[in-house]
Amino acid sequence: MTLDDLPTPCLVLDRGILQRNLDTMARALARHKVPLRPHLKTAKSIDVARMAITGQTGAITVSTLAEAEYFVGYRIHDILYAAGITPQKLERVVNLNRHGANVIVITDDRDMAAIIAAQNMPPRCLIEVDTGENRGGISAEGPELMDLAGRLGPALAGVMTHAGHSYSGRSVAEMAAIAETERAGITLAAGRLRAAGYKISIVSMGSSPTALHATHLDGVTEVRAGVYMFGDLFQVQILTHGLDDIAVTVLTSVIGRRPRESSILVDAGGLALSKDRSTAATPNDYGFGLALNLQGQFRYGHAIVDRAYQEHGVIMCDPAHPIDLPIGGKLRIAPNHTCMTVAAHDRYHVVDGSDDVIAIWPRVNGW
Amino acid sequence: MTLDDLPTPCLVLDRGILQRNLDTMARALARHKVPLRPHLKTAKSIDVARMAITGQTGAITVSTLAEAEYFVGYRIHDILYAAGITPQKLERVVNLNRHGANVIVITDDRDMAAIIAAQNMPPRCLIEVDTGENRGGISAEGPELMDLAGRLGPALAGVMTHAGHSYSGRSVAEMAAIAETERAGITLAAGRLRAAGYKISIVSMGSSPTALHATHLDGVTEVRAGVYMFGDLFQVQILTHGLDDIAVTVLTSVIGRRPRESSILVDAGGLALSKDRSTAATPNDYGFGLALNLQGQFRYGHAIVDRAYQEHGVIMCDPAHPIDLPIGGKLRIAPNHTCMTVAAHDRYHVVDGSDDVIAIWPRVNGW
């Protein structure tokens, strides 16, 4: 089977590019001698997970309990569920752990900490620390840290943070500076807890930009990152990937042609691509995605999906590089934000540098 | 089972509101004595389809072949696939029709018209006409219409158009004017073809705003509309729905609290809500959605999802109406654009004016 045989729209994953991205991240962290706990929120695939944990400790991060349950089914047991736990979700975690898993939860809430500690078999819990993203987490410096630790008691296993604001960095220097803020904040929290007598075995930080660009990671026990595996146009704009490092694209077919307007209509619209417009705030605005040829090569110039309807995408062609395809002709779209784009699809069609589809890898969507 | 028992995030569909929206559209079209061919691209559910075709002809519209195959499986046979057909997709349509379905296709391309006509058992085909949306379709006035008709030959069954630009209307008068442009264009095309001797049995137009606000529909044989079933915040802004007419909401749980910043963190982020920002261009910008209480009531004032990460939504509360819920407390989010939001979910949890979940209705996603 080749790409030309596939019904569209669908996802194409280039295994060679994925492997290169995994190697780049592994090298970046090996410099600091810190292992990676890859975040599977983007890939949501056991096949990708197996590649990503190779050479690491075997631990992973997830963003949903559906992912946790799926990966436990494949005997990946050391799992950090990196979104604030609730009482109802705690029941699912306790159930997984009762059957041999080691799902670690996070909290930044004093009531929730008490509920975790009150379990018969409490999961290990990390305190979420805010190092500048201003989303979840408490201050590394304030009194809440000790209050939470006291409430968690023996369930306390460590601290974690996510410097998600690194995605607003636009230079390596900026991202390195944010990485150092992230590192300094989380190790400060760990140090305060240790000084108070708590055993802190996990000091976890990470985002793809800070993981790649940190200058040192002293005191950190693990790094989390996810989107680095696949890359996307936004990552290209913030200098963590090149255009050739985008591993996942959307295969699409021409369904209309307007040569007088230099536009074509394709069957990848807002559902197949997502409505994410993150490149709007970057030097190159790619609309809803960049058109590549069937082989995934940059041959159409600045041909972008200018408008995205539910099942229609309007590509405005680059006059210097017209797209001359018949109805049904296929091309590929590089996504703005791969996490959002892949979530609309239930599988990857895997290639390795050619048109041949060498495997189909399912994804676990939903919650 | 009540809403409080459901894992979050998930979809809630209020059957009573859905029925009211269906009745409103049925009444609007009954004035013109034109039947509705409901568009199931939003709902993608046989249970909703059965309600939507009640009192109509039984015909439906779909946006994907996955929908067509799904509905044929439930013996709905008269289906308009309202996106430009390709040779590869034509094979799937012919296969469905060989087994008793009557899937109608559309094209605006002369090469594709010839391919359709060359089938052993060509499906019925409509010529797509552009009445101002500037997406797909040919002019109602130009020479391409006759060229396409000649190429389609006996496969030609009619003409269709979609005045999608009606969504940029901001008053009933504007939408009525766009509806009249849509009607005039498609009946002009039908008239030209009939004058040339073609049998034109289907003259199809529609979008939710033009279907609701048309002043007359003379010469039109059917109207298509979809989003009217569920409504959303964007529809409220363009005056086709009230806030109480939004039938689908996302149930979510509090996963973090920052009372000093008047914000809460919920487990409905960009995946559960979509990244659609269509209300950004309307009088009321609702961010990524509007917070309602567990009963779906407007009780939290202008509390909107201000930021949407993959699995985290940050709700900025209205200081006059604080949201005082514990971790795990539940609320509902009204979506900007329901078509995008529901597509992230595989089922509806159906209620009818209370917290009781009276049914679970599956959806058919993908392609």
The CATH number of residue B295's host domain is 2.40.37.20
The reply to whether B199 and B253 lie within a common domain is no
Q: What is the pLDDT of residues B298-321, one digit of tens each?
A: 999 999 999 999 999 999 999 999
| Contact across the interface for A270 and B276, Cβ inside 8 Å | yes
pLDDT in the model for residue A247 = 98
Predicted ipTM of the assembly? 0.97
**Structure confidence at residue B239 as a pLDDT band (50, 70, 90):** confident
Give me the pLDDT at residue B108, please: 98
Q: What phi and psi values does residue A52 have, to the nearest 5 degrees?
A: -70, -30
CA distance A353 to B223: 47
Give residue B232's pLDDT: 97
Q: Is residue B235 part of a domain?
A: no
Residues 6+ apart with CB under 8 A from A201: A157, A158, A221
| Residues A269, A158 within the same domain | no
Q: Are residues A7 and A25 in the same domain?
A: no
Residues with pLDDT less than 50, chain A: none
Burial class (CB within 10 angstroms; exposed 0-12, middle 13-18, buried 19+) of B143:
exposed
Q: For B245-284, how does the pLDDT look when each residue is reduced to its tens digit (9 = 90+)?
A: 999 999 999 999 999 999 999 999 999 999 999 999 899 9
- Please say which residue of A229, A248, A281 terminates a domain: A229
The pLDDT value recorded for residue A167 is 85
What's the pLDDT at B196?
98
Closest to B327 (Cβ–Cβ): which among A86, A257, A337?
A: A86
Domain assignment of residue B267, yes or no: yes
Q: A-chain residues within 8 Å CB-CB of B92?
A: 7
User: Which residue from B minimizes the CA distance to A326?
Assistant: B111
Among the partner-chain residues A253, A256, A310, the one whose CB lies closest to the CB of B63 is A310
Question: Is residue A165 domain-shared with residue A144, that is, in the same domain?
Answer: yes
pLDDT over 90 (residue B168): no
pLDDT digits (tens, 9 = 90+) for B102-139: 999 999 999 999 999 999 999 999 999 999 999 999 99
User: Mutate which of B91, B93, B364, B367 to disrupt the A interface (most A C-beta within 10 Å)?
Assistant: B367
pLDDT attached to residue A240 = 87
Q: Is A267 at the interface with chain B, CB within 8 A? A: yes
A8 to chain B: which residues are within 8 Å by CB? 88, 367
Summarize pLDDT for A316-347 with one digit per residue, the tens: 999 999 999 999 999 999 999 999 999 999 99
Judged on CB neighbours under 10 Å (0-12, 13-18, 19+), B298 is middle
A253 touches chain B (CB under 8 A): yes
Is B266 found in the same domain as B169?
A: no
Nearest CA distance, A361 vs chain B (angstrom): 16
Is B367 within a domain?
A: no
Chain A positions touching B267 (Cβ under 8 A) are 83-84, 86, 367
Count of structural domains within chain B: 2
Could you tell me if B269 and B215 lie in one domain? no
CATH of the domain at A23: 3.20.20.10
Q: What was the pLDDT predicted at A170?
A: 81
pLDDT in the model for residue A255 = 98
- Residue that terminates a domain, selected from B230, B265, B294: B230
Q: Does A9 reach chain B within 8 Å, measured CB to CB? A: yes
Please give the Cα distance from B224 to B222 (Å, whole number): 7
Question: Nearest-CA distance from B150 to chain A in Å?
Answer: 19
The whole domain housing A79 covers 15-229
Check whether residue A19 and residue A136 sit in a common domain.
yes
B309 contacts A86? CB cut-off 8 A: no
Q: Other CB atoms closer than 10 Å to residue B145's CB: what's the count?
A: 21
Nearest-10 crossing angle of helices A46-53, A15-30? 40
Q: Give the one of A89, A276, A328 whose C-beta lies nearest to B275's C-beta.
A: A276
pLDDT of the residue at A166? 85
CB contact under 8 A, B275 and A271: no
Q: Which of B207, B230, B253 is the last residue in one of the domains?
A: B230
Which residue among B86, B88, B311 places its CB closest to the CB of A83?
B311
- A362: contact with B, CB 8 A cutoff: no
Does residue A105 sit in the same domain as residue A118? yes
Q: What is the pLDDT of residue B295?
A: 96
In this structure, the answer to whether residues B202 and B277 fall within a common structural domain is: no
Is A130 within the bounds of a domain? yes
- Whether A235 is in a domain gets the answer no
pLDDT of residue B227: 95
* Shared-domain flag, residues B270 and B127: no
What is d(CA B260, CA A179) in angstroms, rounded to the nearest whole number? Answer: 27
Could A135 and B41 be called an inter-chain contact, meaning their C-beta atoms sit closer than 8 Å? no
A84 CB near a chain B CB, below 8 Å?
Answer: yes
Nearest residue of chain B to residue A5 (CA atoms): B88
Cβ of B327 within 8 Å of Cβ of A87? The answer is yes
Q: Which residue of B has its CA nearest to A276?
A: B275
Asked if B84's CB is within 8 angstroms of A339's CB, the reply is no
pTM above 0.95, yes or no: yes
Return the percentage of chain B with pLDDT > 70, whole number: 100
Which residues are CB-neighbours of A72 under 8 A, at least 6 positions away?
A: A79, A96, A99, A100, A101, A103
Sheet with B156-160, strands from edge to edge, namely: B60-62, B78-81, B102-107, B125-128, B156-160, B202-205, B222-223
Q: Does A265 touch chain B (CB under 8 A)?
A: yes
> Contact A86/B253, CB-based, under 8 Å?
yes
Tokens of A70: 């799926």
> Do A176 and A31 share a domain, yes or no?
yes
> Chain B, 120-149: which have a CB under 8 Å from a chain A CB?
135-136
B96 & B195 share domain: yes
For residue B317, the number of C-alpha atoms closer than 13 Å in the C-beta half-sphere is: 22
CB atoms within 10 A of CB A94: 17
In chain A, residues with a C-beta closer than 8 Å to the C-beta of B256 are 84, 108-109, 135-136
